[in-house]
Amino acid sequence: MVKRNVYLAMKDLREAKEIFSGVWRGKKTLPERINTEDALGRVTACPVYAGVSAPAYHSAAMDGIAVRAEMTYDATEQLPKVLTTGEDAVWINTGQALPEGYNAVIMVEKIHELDEGHLEIRSPAYPWQNIRKVGEDIVATQLLFPQNYLIRPYDMGALVAAGVFTVMVRRQPRVIIIPTGAEIISPKDVTDFRQLRNNRIIDSNSITLAGLIREAGGAPRIFPITPDEEEAIRDALLKAADSDADLILINAGSSAGSKDYTANILADIGEVLVHGVAMMPGKPTILGIIGGKPIIGIPGYPVSAILSFEQFAKPLLLNLQGLKPRKSRTITVRPSRNIPSKLGTEEFVRVNIGRVGDLSIATPLPRSAGSITTLTRAEGIIRIPPLSEGIGQEEETIAELLVDDDDLINTVVIIGSHDITLDVLADEVRNASGRNIRISSGNVGSMGGLIAIRKGICHIAGLHLLDTETGEYNVPYLRRYLKGIRISLFHLVLREQGLIVQKGNPKGIKRIMDLARNDISFVNRQAGSGTRILLDYNLVRSGLSPEAVKGYGHEEFTHMSVAVDVLSGAADCGMAIYAAARALDLDFIPLDREQYDLVIPTAYLQDPNIQAVLETIRSRKFRDRAAALGGYDPSRSGELVMELEP
């Protein structure tokens, strides 16, 4: 190996980083399985899926009484309804399991106690009022975290709540610290402060560096203090190089002093890449390789040691775990939709954030106080003041960031129809691109996605809109609603839509006509969704009106939410994709095979993040994972369907 004698030949910080990163760029530590309770600060090595739903049973969301909603329909202010406790109503506390046969909870503030056995209510309850249904927060088999995800305290709660008690993570990078100098003394060897009078210094740098290593997710090991002797330093370096360490830090002995041997020894037994960086503090930093391991000569002054670590060691340790440095800051954002808020309450709204053109777009996450996943998925938090009734879609506001700014730059905002393959895309593109690209999804239905494209607040819209006159998917709607915008339409998947019913199909549902039966309760998708349009089309073909379907107005925003309602018994039947039924082991009655596409403004096509998305959906791995979900045909994923000119 050719030695580089560059002692004190200064490099600027950018150049020094580029030279040193060439040693470790692309390297990762190997995976290991650990208990979830030990996973704080660790990084997932593969995607993590929920094992069970949370909650696992129907429970009260309020203190009050459990009732049968149908018995309360005739209650009014003028004609209150009297209920008998133990028969018509059962007292229940927040979080308590819902008694068998009851389907609503009336909050205690709306109950008037007449005597020990009788209560009075002055308004009706509706089915599933004030009840947390099975899977309201977490649905079994859903993607909790993608690979290369840093696990935080509430992520641990989400994992355990979802029945995930062990998790595959990347091994913590192992770092050896070699303190040098005849003048330093280990804290554990200080028995009397008078020891410090004779030019002795407590080795605080090793403790500081060990803390910084742990904070960066590494595992430190401090060698015994090595005296300023050439042979002793050489022996310590060779021992460290022969260990299982991923990084070696040697503290002090890195400048041009007469007893600063590190650079010369390293040049002899390894390679010096940089000796001296144009930064202050931190100028004497040494960067090199020994035994194939990266080594950093950390300056002896404490502030220099910290800055040298932050600039060179921390990026290496994070990279080995698939992470990037995080910075705490705020940012000006615009909501992707109106965010109403209750007057008199300061609200913390969890949001996904992505940059679309010159705008930072914040997509609100579900606002349920019991939904821990809104924190695990959030990129930021918007604080709505108590004297505000909310934030409009056209307003700018401030968000407190929970992620690094680089993550926002690499966030792709997808708004529109919900599809389970977007979870697969989010995981695959995060790893395949090499830039940890995030997918920020807003499930507002296919028409909502087209509106978002028109307003310029998303990169991609997902849609599956059937034109009932021509039988064609998506293209007629693009021509109708996106006139004047140059867009490109890419195919994602063909998927099976149909009726989801409970396991064994106890109600014997076979076709759309059965939805008109009095004993069938239905759960619908929201207005503007492609699934809702497809349902309406099938109702018309069957000669049914929406009024004939019990539960037509009961709406959910995702396929999995529809499946959860059927699983929990909140509905007998719902319309959704086969993959949602399969995920929850429900029965499925196929009705249609539909086309789900991605609409991208052509101006964004050359964006590296968009290119990474398209490359990912064309990849064999994405197609295999999508097909494995069931009910999907991804054979044409990434194919350009058409370009629409203004």
| Same domain membership, residue 309 and residue 442 | no
Q: What is the mean pLDDT of residues 472-500?
A: 93
Is 1's pLDDT higher than 60? no
If one compares 328 and 57, the residue with the highest pLDDT of the two is: 57
| Same domain membership, residue 125 and residue 161 | no
| Same domain membership, residue 490 and residue 639 | yes
Residue 342: the pLDDT is 75
Residue 11: the pLDDT is 81
| Same domain membership, residue 342 and residue 301 | no
pLDDT > 70 fraction of the chain, expressed in percent and rounded: 94
| Same domain membership, residue 435 and residue 423 | yes
If one compares 39 and 7, the residue with the highest pLDDT of the two is: 39
If one compares 21 and 369, the residue with the highest pLDDT of the two is: 21
In this structure, the strands spanning 59-60 and 184-185 are unpaired
Residue 375: the pLDDT is 66
**Strand stretches in 26-139, DSSP E:** 31-35, 48-49, 59-60, 64-67, 81-84, 89-92, 104-107, 112-115, 118-121, 131-132
**pLDDT-derived band at 258, boundaries 50, 70, 90:** very low
DSSP 97: B
Residue 1 lies inside a defined structural domain of this protein: no
In this structure, how many other beta carbons lie within 10 angstroms of the beta carbon of residue 512? Answer: 20
The model's pTM: 0.63
Residue 78: the pLDDT is 92
Residue 461: the pLDDT is 95
DSSP element (H, E) containing 407: helix 405-409
Residue 9: the pLDDT is 67
Residue 473 lies inside a defined structural domain of this protein: no
Q: What is the CATH number of the domain that holds 236?
A: 3.40.980.10
Is 3's pLDDT higher than 80? no
Is 163's pLDDT higher than 90? yes
Domain end residue (candidates: 294, 320, 346): 320
Residue 3 lies inside a defined structural domain of this protein: no
**pLDDT-derived band at 374, boundaries 50, 70, 90:** low
DSSP 39: -
Residue 373: the pLDDT is 67
Q: What is the mean pLDDT of residues 496-520?
A: 95
- What total of structural domains would you count in the chain? 5
Please give the angle made by the CA atoms of 122, 127 and 128, to the nearest 5 degrees: 110
DSSP 108: G
Is 125's pLDDT higher than 60? yes
| Same domain membership, residue 421 and residue 337 | yes
* Nearest residue to 128 (alpha-carbon basis) of 497, 571, 575, 538: 571
Residue 433: the pLDDT is 61
Is 348's pLDDT higher than 50? yes
The parent domain of residue 63 ranges over 59-132
Is 538's pLDDT higher than 50? yes
Is 140's pLDDT higher than 60? yes
Is 8's pLDDT higher than 70? no
Cross-strand bridge partners of residue 92: 64
Q: What residue type is 355 in one-letter code? A: R
Residue 2: the pLDDT is 36
Q: What is the mean pLDDT of residues 311-316?
A: 92
Please give the Cα distance from 317 to 309 (Å, whole number): 10
Residue 344 lies inside a defined structural domain of this protein: yes
| Same domain membership, residue 145 and residue 104 | no
Q: Please write the tens of the pLDDT for every residue from 62-87.
A: 999 999 999 999 999 999 999 999 99
Lowest mean pLDDT among 96-110, 382-396, 565-579: 382-396
Residue 24 lies inside a defined structural domain of this protein: yes
Residue 477 lies inside a defined structural domain of this protein: no
Q: Please write the tens of the pLDDT for every residue from 429-485.
A: 987 667 788 888 888 888 889 999 998 999 999 998 888 888 888 999 999 999 889
Q: What is the CATH number of the domain that holds 157?
A: 3.90.105.10
**pLDDT-derived band at 218, boundaries 50, 70, 90:** very high
Domain end residue (candidates: 432, 463, 494): 463
Residue 379 lies inside a defined structural domain of this protein: yes
Residue 189: the pLDDT is 74
Q: What is the mean pLDDT of residues 603-628?
A: 94
Residues 286 and 308 sit within 8 Å (Cβ to Cβ): no
Q: Where does residue 79 rank: exposed (0-12), middle (13-18), buried (19+ CB within 10 A)?
A: exposed
**pLDDT-derived band at 344, boundaries 50, 70, 90:** low
| Same domain membership, residue 497 and residue 354 | no
Q: What is the CATH number of the domain that holds 125?
A: 2.170.190.11
Q: What is the CATH number of the domain that holds 542?
A: 3.40.190.10
| Same domain membership, residue 419 and residue 363 | yes
pLDDT > 90 fraction of the chain, expressed in percent and rounded: 58
* Nearest residue to 51 (alpha-carbon basis) of 622, 584, 632: 584
Residue 634: the pLDDT is 95
Residue 472 lies inside a defined structural domain of this protein: no
Residue 367: the pLDDT is 67
Is 256's pLDDT higher than 60? no
| Same domain membership, residue 637 and residue 495 | yes
Q: Please write the tens of the pLDDT for every residue from 545-589.
A: 999 999 999 998 888 899 999 998 999 999 999 999 999 999 999
| Same domain membership, residue 411 and residue 292 | no
| Same domain membership, residue 515 and residue 625 | yes
Domain end residue (candidates: 463, 498, 519): 463
